[in-house]
Amino acid sequence: MPKISVVMPVYNSERYLREALDSIINQSFSDFECLVIDDGSTDGSSDIIKSFNDPRIICITKDHSGLIDTLNQGIAQCKGDYIARCDSDDICEPDRFKCQVDFLDQNPLCVVVGSHAVAVDEHNKVMRVLDYPPINTRSIRTYALFHNPFVHSSVMIRKKVLDISGGYRKHYLHAEDYELWTRIIYKNECANIPKRLIRYRIHGAQVTQKNNITMRFWGVIVRGLAFFRFVSNL
């Protein structure tokens, strides 16, 4: 069984997909499987996935059903002890997996670890650094009362904890990751590695840009849930 299962949902991602997958297969830590779930793409995404002659790249094709369903279907098929998230338009730095695996191995009580990031545009030009995430459990729990405490595509999580949590919930559309973290971080140890382990791409076609208003609405709801879960665990 692989140590890591990478979950990468894909929907009409041909512009950036090859670069994202290249950043996965060129990781210094090589004991992983990468489940690339094609959510009914109508562009050339499927052909790009199948062009990779690497047994660690596993292409799963399905009818279009949206990001949350795609993530949960991918997670259900993961075999690794740890699950790493990566989006089809982001780029992992070469030592990302090694840094996070080492951290989780050395900190057995920690169940989820993210990292800092660099935001880049569609041409890979650096826009800003994303060093805002808090680092330790206490600061993450406090930060989550006001903001999402993790850069989603930087996260690595223990599979058994993700299974117990029930995964992503559909009714928190575009804030599904934030809501998931609030179910996990107030009962478990967590961390962010203060290194920029991913390049997070910002462009007009990405989900967070096209659905900003919906994401903000559900973000307000999730902050209320975070406060309730925080108080419940005092």
Domains of the chain in start order, with CATH, are 4-232 (3.90.550.10)
Q: pLDDT digits over 94-120, tens only? A: 999 999 999 999 999 999 999 999 999
State the pLDDT at residue 208: 52
Residues 6+ apart with CB under 8 A from 49: 10, 17, 21, 36, 38, 57, 59
State the pLDDT at residue 206: 52
Percent with pLDDT over 90 in the chain: 81
pTM of the model: 0.90
Helix axis angle for 212-232 and 176-184, nearest 10°, is: 10
- Between the CA of residue 210 and those of 85, 88, 204, 216, what are the distances in Å? 21, 16, 7, 12
